[in-house]
Amino acid sequence: MAEKLLEIRKLTVGFVTDKGLVKATDEISLSIRQGQTVCLVGESGSGKSVTSLAVMRLIDYAGGVIADGSIEYHGQDLALKSQEEMRHIRGNRIAMIFQDPMSSLNPVFTVGEQIAESLRLHQNMSGDKAWNAAVDMLRTVGIPAPEIRAKQYPHELSGGMCQRVVIAIALACKPELLIADEPTTALDVTVQAQILDLLRKLQAELGMSILLITHDMGVAAEMADRVAVMYAGAIVEEGPVEDIFNTPSHPYTVGLLQSIPGFEGERGRELYTIRGTIPPIGQLPDGCRFHPRCPHAMDICRQKEPFDFLVGDGDDHRAACWLFEDRPVALVDGRGGRDEVKRA
């Protein structure tokens, strides 16, 4: 089995308000192995992007704080590193693709210059060498006539091309880990397929790992080795992609999959919806955070937060749900849930 590249342990990220710390993520644990793609899925507001910003230590600039837990990269805790130390890692060994390519690109610099800047900063390349490498990167990500496109500004390119430029910037230094936050948002279906194909191709060539953040279960099914389902700041189910889609266990995961529109033969079927809305951060219900929306809620769900129980036949599929109270508590790789889990 491949070596672990990133190990997130009981990570709590929050924002300090006049009412104290408001948690955006609550003791989440997740690991990514070398060459693996892990998808973090869930509704908007579930804490997916906050998690990615915490890993990059960009949460500091967004007004957030890492309140507890660790983010171990090759055994080093990124949560303890200074911003100066992170500058040597961020964009070089760990890179990120943000949701909106147009907001990620500087409108007053050519796209070639923006790729070359990363190479000069992290790889100590000279001006001409960095420029030529930038043109090569544009060619690598499938942009036609890269010598011409490199001299153009973001507003002169289509949305799909801008996304390819953002990918080129992220991959210019050949990172070990790529964090892709909704990389196909606002792109049409054809371009979305091209971008996903490109990520798979570059992953195979570079041998990198990917943390893919999406609300699209179809993208997760196509790209992931493992899937972690996030709800209201917590991971409620995690397992191999086949298990998540073939035998979903947490009622929230089941609801997400049932909410996918049907195919031609199911056109007359009423679209399933999960009732209610995700609770705002800082206003979580007692007990299980999903119980107000859950069709299987029991008394214990309203009173006590569930442990992470092992589901399925192996030891790598877990769900935080009282429906599995008779199953063993998941302590695999230190990913068990809350402190109370020690009772097992």
What residues form DSSP beta bridges with 201? none
Helix (H) or strand (E) holding 78: none
**Structure tokens given for 146:** 């890269």
Lowest average pLDDT, out of 131-145, 152-166, 275-289, 320-334, goes to 320-334
Residue 337 pLDDT > 60? no
Q: What is the DSSP letter of 329?
A: B
Res. 334 pLDDT band, cuts 50 70 90: very low
Residue range 304-330, pLDDT digits in tens = 999 999 998 888 999 999 999 988 898
Strands 226-231 and 37-41: parallel
CA-based nearest residue to 121, from 60, 176, 79, 169: 169
Residue 338 pLDDT > 80? no
Amino acid (1-letter code) at residue 168: A
Residue 336 pLDDT > 60? no
Beta carbons of 325 and 309 less than 8 angstroms apart: yes
Beta carbons of 196 and 219 less than 8 angstroms apart: yes
User: Which residue in the block uniquely carries the two structure tokens 């570079």?
Assistant: 206
* Confidence at residue 312, expressed as pLDDT on a 0 to 100 scale: 81
Q: What's the chain's Rg over C-alpha atoms?
A: 21
What are the C-alpha distances in Å from 138 to residues 116, 129, 168, 173, 179? 11, 14, 6, 13, 19
Residue range 261-275, pLDDT digits in tens = 765 545 556 778 899
* Confidence at residue 266, expressed as pLDDT on a 0 to 100 scale: 56
C-alpha–C-alpha distance, residues 279 and 15, integer Å: 16
Q: What percent of the chain has pLDDT over 70?
A: 93
Residue range 202-259, pLDDT digits in tens = 899 989 999 999 988 989 999 999 999 999 999 999 999 999 999 999 999 999 999 8
C-alpha–C-alpha distance, residues 34 and 259, integer Å: 32
pTM comes to 0.91
Beta carbons of 199 and 37 less than 8 angstroms apart: no
* Confidence at residue 340, expressed as pLDDT on a 0 to 100 scale: 42
Query: In 3-state terms, what secondary structure has residue 42?
Result: coil
* Confidence at residue 68, expressed as pLDDT on a 0 to 100 scale: 95
Amino acid (1-letter code) at residue 101: P
Residue range 244-256, pLDDT digits in tens = 999 999 999 999 9
Mean pLDDT of the chain: 90
* Confidence at residue 190, expressed as pLDDT on a 0 to 100 scale: 85
Residue range 38-82, pLDDT digits in tens = 999 999 989 999 999 999 999 988 889 999 999 999 989 999 999
* Confidence at residue 268, expressed as pLDDT on a 0 to 100 scale: 58
